[in-house]
Amino acid sequence: EVQLLESGGGLVQPGGSLRLSCAGSGFIFSNYAMTWVRQAPGKGLEWVSGISGSGDIRHYADSVKGRFTISRDNSKKTLYLEMNSLRAEDTALYYCTKTRDIVIVASDYWGQGARVTVS
Amino acid sequence: DIQMTQSPSTLSASVGDRVTITCRASQSVSRWLAWYQQKPGKAPNLLIYKASTLESGVPSRFSGSGSGTEFTLTISSLQPDDFATYYCQQYSTYGTFGQGTKVEIK
């Protein structure tokens, strides 16, 4: 059974930093691209960042480019999101997702989310 | 960046109704489009990918069509479990989502 377990969320002051982690299990982690998607309270889904299975291709939404860094450690089956220079508008539930291929495509599994509050 | 626009934003329907949601892209995304269902307090669930391929385990009353810039999600006969919010997502370039369509009970 595929499982994605996010951790590292919390309350941080504007300008602060936070690192989210997502531990994957039940699938060959290195064979699949992974993404982070966020959802602000009462709002829709916003794609944040994605990384290929090998980790050599990374993409970011314009809203986080230069502030967030996505990475993965395939030996630990873990995805990361390093978030710097946090703003109030980064407050959201951050979902880790597994995509259906080694490159970034549709997400077939989602974690339950890590809550980030910038205040 | 590619923008995705869904219509309508809210849809009121009854059990048994045929429901159609439209998603338009600001430029062609070929068939690199997915549809998700999200219920309150839950993570989204993939329904359809590559515009019209039904994800495993998803009921056949859900179908998708379209290519290029215009896509539709159709629920052939709305069931009580289908009242939720639906999102389209293009993944031709990164992964932009539409703003969502809430399907409510009429």
Q: What is the pLDDT of residues A38-67, one digit of tens each?
A: 999 999 999 999 999 999 999 999 999 999
Which of A61, A106, A110 minimises the CB distance to B34? A106
Question: Could you report the per-residue pLDDT of A14-37, keeping only the tens digit for each?
Answer: 999 999 999 999 999 999 999 999
Round to whole Å and give the CA distance between A22 and B66: 34
Round to whole Å and give the CA distance between A24 and A39: 21
For residue B70, the tally of other CB atoms under 10 A from its CB is 13
Q: Tell me which residue has tokens 């941080």.
A: A12
Does residue A11 have a pLDDT over 90?
yes
Among chain B residues, the shortest Cα distance to A107 is held by B46
Say what the pLDDT of residue A62 is. 95
Distance from CA of B45 to the nearest CA of A (A): 7
A50 chain-B contacts, CB cut-off 8 A: 94-95
Does residue B53 have a pLDDT over 90?
yes
Find the mean pLDDT for residues A98-114. 95
**CB–CB of A37/A87 below 8 Å?**
no
Distance from CA of B30 to the nearest CA of A (A): 13
Tell me the three state secondary structure of residue A47: strand
Round to whole Å and give the CA distance between A49 and A40: 16
Tell me the three state secondary structure of residue A2: coil
Q: How many helices (H) and strands (E) does chain B have?
A: 0, 10
B94–A45 CB contact, under 8 Å? no
A97's enclosing H/E stretch is strand A92-99
**CB–CB of B39/B51 below 8 Å?**
no
Does residue B1 have a pLDDT over 90?
no
Among chain B residues, the shortest Cα distance to A112 is held by B43
B84 chain-A contacts, CB cut-off 8 A: none
pLDDT confidence tier of residue B32, bands split at 50, 70 and 90:
very high
Say what the pLDDT of residue B94 is. 84
Interface test with B, best of A38, A45, A97 (most B CBs within 10 A): A45
